[in-house]
Amino acid sequence: MLLAGDIFSVLKNVLVVIYLITIFSICLMIVFENRNPVKTLSWLLVIMFIPVAGVITYVFFGRNYRKQKIYSRKSLADSVRLTDHVDRQVSLLHKVLAVESEAVRSKEHLIHLMLNNNRSLLTLNNRIDLLVNGKEAFPAMLDAIASAGKFIHLEIYRLEPDTLGTEFRELMKRKAGEGVKVRVVYDDVGSWNIHKTYIRDMREAGVEIYPFMPVRFPAFSSKINYRNHRKILVVDGREGFVGGLNIADKYIHGLPGLGPWVDTHLRLTGEAVAALDRVFVDDWNFVSGEKLQPGTYVENTVKTGNRCLVQVASSGPDTDWATIMQVYFSAIATAKTSIYLTSPYFSPDESLLTALKTAALSGVDVRMIFPKYSDSIIANWNTRSYISELLEAGVRIFLYENGFIHSKYLLVDNVFSSVGSPNVDVRSFDLDFEVTALVYDEEFAFRLGVLFNEDLKNCSEVTLQQWLKRKKGDRYKESLARIFGPLY
């Protein structure tokens, strides 16, 4: 007859065997996903050396949905009509660019890349306003919403029920009452603080609003790590906004202990607005179950009288390629004179890191702005872990001191620009749904360069000699944070 102690011992051994089988199975799963070896080894170490918690962390955050095609939402992007447009642009691209400057023509390979890997149509007639910080961006966005006569499409990662969020809500409610079609998509994790009453109030006023992949048990594990980080506003197909700003008071007033919140946004008018709306419509159909078609409301004939080449690029775990990472890599690897990059979080894969170092070693002027003070402790130490090798390669590193810089932009050779939602990190390139405007225009590049130089005035440059003297404790923090860099 088995005693209580014997039964406990048997159960313990059974649980240990089950746990070991689970670990072995998950390790095999990770290996067979054929990921980047660094990320594979990081997950294997976490699972093997952090009992139970490692397995739970992987289940919640580690599964590779791009490989598994869980988020297969490409029916719109793969439509026959869009494919025909893309094929036509590819075949005529050289002729279309013949009238452009030599500098713009030198980036033809980037345009071609985005046509092939993302079906990002090239738009020719556009006007771009560079909006610096919330004090410039939010009034412009609210004015556009107030002037809406047909529709308002808002897609946002963080929507807070604070003073600014309430102002946006009340204005959209009023426009819905005037008969304007108001559609809103918010990320369920990014907008965690939204109350049910906030949403119910909007719906009762006629606003159509949906969360992006709501996180609820038991489906928690399959959704929490894949978030919609896009920031899109399209009004009547005539104005579009994209960039790094969410809707919350901190984007105007900053954060205690960090100071002002520094960010960059764009207002688009012209043909690129329809391309931006196409990204929204794809996401709207996913969350709402509708089959809204782009062009139903979009004024595709909007003309600005200004020739400025723009592609709207999107990426996420639903795409076959890490499209935005690829265009960043190609732009950096083929840069001839200069690369100016600003990102609040920096955790690149090996290819992008190598491209940056190789460019600097080749004589390209590579300058990067990181925040000196960050809203994320782990992300900040992870970013700092890359500074030594960048400095050794000749990259110039600047730390922003007058607040927290959240801007996300890239400027290459004073002609190619990217302003949007993606950070230069693994999360933005592999896990989150992102969107950015790729601009091929020397005049806009000049304006972005002026902004970069203005940001430099609030920075301190880091020298290699100075950096090598930092505390040993800081080096340990950097190394530890870097282990987790490929995981988040």
- Element housing 375 (H / E): none
3-class DSSP assignment, residue 131:
strand
Predicted local distance difference test score (pLDDT) of residue 78: 43
CA dihedral 66, 67, 73, 76 (to 10 degrees): 100
User: Residue type for 402, please?
Assistant: N
d(CA 112, CA 119): 9
Determine whether 236 is an active site residue: yes
Residues shown for the chain: 488
User: Residue type for 189, please?
Assistant: V
Query: Which CATH architecture best describes the domain 323-487?
Result: 2-Layer Sandwich (3.30)
Determine whether 229 is an active site residue: yes
pTM summary value: 0.86
The domain limits of the chain are 4-62, 80-85+125-307, 323-487
- Do 323-487 and 80-85+125-307 have the same topology in CATH? yes
Determine whether 231 is an active site residue: yes
Q: 36: which 2 tokens?
A: 């980047």
Determine whether 349 is an active site residue: no
Predicted local distance difference test score (pLDDT) of residue 58: 62
CA angle 429, 89, 111 (to 5 degrees): 35
Q: In 3D, which of 80, 65, 109 has the Cα closest to residue 331?
A: 109
Asked whether the beta carbons of 296 and 321 are under 8 A apart, the reply is no
Q: In 3D, which of 211, 213, 208, 191 has the Cα closest to residue 318?
A: 213
Determine whether 263 is an active site residue: no
Asked whether the beta carbons of 247 and 272 are under 8 A apart, the reply is no
Predicted local distance difference test score (pLDDT) of residue 218: 44
Asked whether the beta carbons of 450 and 365 are under 8 A apart, the reply is no
3-class DSSP assignment, residue 139:
helix
Predicted local distance difference test score (pLDDT) of residue 244: 96
Write the CB contacts of 103 (distance below 8 Å, at least 6 apart in sequence): 413, 414, 415, 442
Check the CA dihedral 361-447-156-192 and report its sign: positive
Write the CB contacts of 253 (distance below 8 Å, at least 6 apart in sequence): 261
Catalytic residue among 229, 265, 372, 477: 229
- For residue 167, CA distances in Å to 117, 138, 178, 207, 254 come to 39, 10, 17, 14, 18
- Strand 434-440 and strand 416-420: pairing? antiparallel
Catalytic residue among 188, 277, 349, 413: 413
- For residue 411, CA distances in Å to 76, 308, 318, 438, 447 come to 30, 16, 27, 10, 10
State CA 113 to chain mean position distance.
19
Catalytic residue among 188, 236, 263, 318: 236
Asked whether the beta carbons of 48 and 54 are under 8 A apart, the reply is yes
Q: In 3D, which of 443, 452, 442, 150 has the Cα closest to residue 295?
A: 150
Question: Furthest-apart CA pair in the chain: how many Å?
Answer: 92
d(CA 200, CA 198): 6
pLDDT in tens, the chain (488 residues): 555 666 667 777 777 677 677 777 767 766 666 566 666 666 676 666 666 666 666 655 555 554 455 455 544 444 666 778 888 998 989 999 999 999 999 999 999 999 999 899 999 999 999 999 999 999 999 999 999 999 999 999 999 999 999 999 999 999 999 999 999 999 998 998 898 899 999 999 999 999 998 876 544 444 556 789 999 999 999 999 999 999 999 999 998 889 999 999 999 999 999 999 999 999 999 999 998 887 644 444 456 678 999 999 999 887 778 999 999 999 999 999 999 999 999 999 899 999 999 999 999 999 999 999 998 888 899 999 999 999 999 999 999 999 999 999 999 999 999 999 999 998 888 889 999 999 999 999 999 999 999 999 999 999 999 999 999 898 988 888 887 765 55
Burial class (CB in 10 A: 0-12, 13-18, 19+), 10: exposed
Q: 467: which 2 tokens?
A: 């950096």
Q: 427: which 2 tokens?
A: 């999360």
Predicted local distance difference test score (pLDDT) of residue 224: 57
Catalytic residue among 107, 265, 406, 477: 406
Q: In 3D, which of 205, 443, 455, 158 has the Cα closest to residue 307?
A: 443
- Please tell me the CATH superfamily of domain 80-85+125-307, with its number: Endonuclease Chain A (3.30.870.10)
Predicted local distance difference test score (pLDDT) of residue 305: 73
Catalytic residue among 39, 107, 372, 408: 408
d(CA 168, CA 455): 29
Burial class (CB in 10 A: 0-12, 13-18, 19+), 1: exposed
